[in-house]
Amino acid sequence: MYSVVLTEEAQADRLEIMDWYEAILSKLAQEFYEEVSQKVESIIVKYPKIAKVAYKNARKLSLIRFPYNLIYTIDETKKEIRILAIVHDKRDPKVWRNRI
């Protein structure tokens, strides 16, 4: 089983997105949080290689309800998944590529 590390940058991404949804409708922020958590716990941890490699060794997995992607790497020796970014579908990939 893999452990999951949410980097500081990914934590900041999540908070920024949640704040934006909170301003629209508070339950959206909670639903966003729940979908991210569900993707990580139910899919990425169990099937880490399910997402295609998007850049170098980073993988990109799309959320279903929200137009965001989870960008992560896998460290097989440590059995660790590092969530590097949570980014909008339309955002310039340079935003997360420099985090690798």
- Per-residue pLDDT reduced to its tens digit, 5-32: 999 999 999 999 999 999 999 899 999 9
- Per-residue pLDDT reduced to its tens digit, 40-74: 999 999 999 999 999 999 999 999 999 999 999 99
**Domain map of the chain by residue range?**
3-97
Which amino acid is residue 92, in one-letter code? D
The model's pTM: 0.92
**Is residue 78 over pLDDT 90?**
yes
| Domain 3-97 belongs in CATH node 3.30.2310.20 | yes
